[in-house]
Each structure stands twice: as C-alpha cells, then as structure tokens.
Amino acid sequence: MIDFQHILNTIVEEISSEPDKGIVATYIPELAKVDCTKFGISLLDNNAKLYSSGEANEMFSIQSISKVLSLSMAFRILGNDLWNRVGVEPSGDPFNHLSLLEMENGIPRNPLINAGAIVIADILVTQLKNPKQEFLEYIRKIANDNSINYDESVAKSEKETGFRNYAAAYLIKSFGNLKNDVEEVLDFYFHQCSLRMSCEQLVTIFYIFSNRGECLQNHRYLDLNQVKRINAIMLTSGFYDEAGEFAFEVGLPGKSGVGGGIVALLPNKFCVATWSPGLNKKGNSKLGMLALEKLTTTTALSIF
C-alpha cells in the first residue's frame, strides 16, 4: 500500500529548498504578478481518495491545460471527423511557432499547440450556440463544481498581447481551415485559457482521463477509444518541445500551462496536478516537472 500523503508531503518539503524556482511568464502581464515561490500538489487515486500538500487549494490560471478539455468536448461532438482539421503528430517546436503551419497548409500538427487549439476553438464556436457558457458548463459538470470560472482580467490581458495567436489564426484562415470570424474564435480561445482552478479541482476534472472516461459521479463523458487517443496526444505533445524529456523523466501522459500548472495521469491508478508558477526555458513549470519526476521515481508508478 503506497502512502501517497507521506510522499506528497516529502516532495513539498524537498521542493521548498530548491534554489532555482524558474521564472514567471511575463508576456501575459496578469501572469507576471504571481509569486513564483508558490507550490501545490494534489493526487486523486483510483479509489477516488484525494491527497494534497502545499498550496493545492490556491486558484491559478490553467492556460494551455484547458486545451485538453476543449479537445475532449470537440471529440465528443465530431468523433473521428475531428482529425480532418488537425493532426496528431508531435511538433518538436515551441507552442507558439508558425513555421510548420505554413509548410503543412494550415493543418496544425496537433491539437495541443496554440494553432491546433485555435482550430479546436473554431470547431466549438461552430457547433455550440453559446460557446463560452456551454464550455464552462461542460467543465463544471465534470468537476461537479459551479465555482469554476473564467478570469476576465487574464482573458483581457491575453487579448491585448496575443499577437502571435492572431497571426496563427489568420494564417490558418488563409488556408481555409478556420470557418468563423478570427475575433470570435480568439475571444473563445483566450477565455478558455483564462480558466481558474486549483490543483484539487484539476485532478477532479482530469480523473476522467485516468478512469476510462467516467467522472467521480460515474457519468461517462468519453468512450475508451477517445480516452486512449487523448492520453496518447498528451504523452507525445503535452509539453511541446519538452515532451520527450517529460516522458523520459516522468513517464506519464500530461499537459502543462504557462500559469505554472501541470496535470498528469496513470490510467486506472491516479491523476496528479502540480502548481508552481516559475517556468523553465521551455515554458513548463520547473518545480512541477521536478516534483512529478520525484513522484514516479519514488512510487515506481509510470506507464513504462
């Protein structure tokens, strides 16, 4: 029997003494205000038991972690037709690069880079009557938590500084792979990325990816085929040009965000989330990456 609580407490204690905590993202001004010494971790096991340590209840901007959730919603709606609009290969490039988009005729390499998530946003804007509200309700239902909401100040900050996202959207539209107005699509995308949650809320939502598509209330949101494919994309593309390093060091499917969050999972075993806003050079949480390596090494639990 693994004592997850003791392991998490030990990780928090060890992490607190790390001298290099990374650098907070400054290109989104609202994110630059966060204290980089913060650290929290939560783990939800396959018996639905929650373990937490550090600042696991503090809310933060989940940013690109939201791309997995929008992908799951679009996959539910379109099924495998989704893959006509976006690929499933790792990009090997930073999350906001445009070079592959030009070379591959406006079909993003995968749905977890910015360009791919913008195409997913376009699909949801097409398919939903009130996209921002319906997406928020989808997240709240999975979590069974109506307190989850957008951070309007972060969404505004992203819109004011999101020039590369505008460039990507217009480039995609020039190839005919964006059906709606760029402003409308990016308004949804910026709000999606501005979702605020804690580590405990994140593991509750991402539990569906470790529990064969079922949430804690035993409602099925995804079938096994969809869970398999989303988890595979998280493993190969969830950390952009550091995906190989994360697989090598941690060995779990997962997704990071520049707000400092990371969520990862071991199918049928657990879901774990960390938050530490200081980032490494690749834009992933420096202490979060270290904490998850410690977790899988200590427990000897990974997909490998």
Active site amino acids: 64, 67, 189, 240, 258
Q: What type of residue sits at position 252?
A: L
Those residues whose C-beta lies under 8 Å from the C-beta of residue 109, and which sit 6 or more positions away, are: 87, 89, 90, 91, 93, 100, 115, 116, 237
User: Strands, DSSP E only, in 212-269?
Assistant: 254-256, 261-266
Q: 91 near 240, Cβ under 8 Å?
A: yes
Distance in angstroms (rounded) separating the CA atoms of residues 69 and 194: 13
Cα dihedral sign, 119-125-126-127 = positive
Distance in angstroms (rounded) separating the CA atoms of residues 276 and 60: 10
Torsion angles phi and psi, residue 177, rounded to 5: -105, 10
User: Strands, DSSP E only, in 131-252?
Assistant: 149-150, 195-197
Query: With 0-12 CB in 10 A as exposed, 13-18 as middle and 19+ as buried, what is 105?
Result: exposed
Distance in angstroms (rounded) separating the CA atoms of residues 275 and 256: 10
Query: With 0-12 CB in 10 A as exposed, 13-18 as middle and 19+ as buried, what is 83?
Result: middle
Residue 114 token pair? 């910015």
* DSSP strand pairing (261-266 vs 270-275): antiparallel
CA atoms within 13 A on the CB side of 87: 16
